[in-house]
Each structure stands twice: as structure tokens, then as C-alpha cells.
């Protein structure tokens, strides 16, 4: 299950005003480690898994990372002040997204 905090919804609204067709992608590492990246020109492939949508914005991850780390977890998209990855469109807004996860309890 994917939900969003008020901070995340506010950041999404700001980004929509600038980039109406962006997506959020949980990167699998490299230069910035695992980080939520905001892109408006990212080409999704067959190995990209859609975690869900918040305010009609798709949130994606590579399917192997989903199965290894997030499958079976409740997820909350959040946003905090401070710069995240300089490769992400939210960088200039001095805010960035975070993804909190909790194991589902039965």
C-alpha cells in the first residue's frame, strides 16, 4: 500500500506547476545511493515496477529492487527540506522526497 504525507503532496503540487508530466523513480544506487529521483524525461522499461500513484504521478522502482526490499511493505512517500540528488528535478526547490516503509502486519 502506498500513501503520501502532506509534505509530499505539497512538493508534488509545486513540481506539477513546473513539470506537468514528471515521474518519481527510486534509483537503485550508484552516485547518490538509493534515492527518489524526479524526472520528466525518463524512459521506463519492462523491468520497471509501478509502486503506485499519488496525485496521478507514477512512482516506480526496478522490479528486482522491489522484490528484494519493498514487497509486502506499507509505503509512505514523504518530503523534507534540504537538497537531495542534484540529478533530480526537486533539487532546485531545496526539498526532496523520502520513502518510508513498514512491514505489513497480519
- Tens digit of each residue's pLDDT (9 = 90 or more) over 56-76: 999 999 999 999 989 999 999
Q: Which cell is 39 given?
A: 524526472
Phi, psi at 98, each rounded to 5°? -130, 155
Question: What is the side-by-side order of every strand in the sheet holding 48-54?
Answer: 36-39, 23-26, 57-62, 48-54
pLDDT of residue 28: 76
Rounded Cα gap, residues 61 and 51, in angstroms = 7
Q: What is the pTM of this model?
A: 0.90
Amino acid at each position: 500500500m502506498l500513501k503520501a504525507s502532506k509534505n509530499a503532496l505539497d512538493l508534488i503540487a509545486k513540481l506539477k506547476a513546473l513539470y506537468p508530466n514528471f515521474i518519481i523513480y527510486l534509483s537503485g544506487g550508484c552516485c547518490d545511493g538509493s534515492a527518489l529521483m524526479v524526472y520528466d524525461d525518463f524512459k521506463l522499461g519492462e523491468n520497471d515496477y509501478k509502486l503506485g500513484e499519488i496525485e496521478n504521478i507514477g512512482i516506480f522502482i526496478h522490479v528486482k529492487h522491489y522484490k528484494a526490499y519493498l514487497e509486502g511493505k506499507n509505503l509512505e512517500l514523504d518530503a523534507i527540506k534540504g537538497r537531495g540528488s542534484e540529478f533530480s528535478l526537486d533539487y532546485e526547490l531545496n526539498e526532496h522526497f523520502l520513502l518510508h516503509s513498514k512491514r505489513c502486519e497480519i
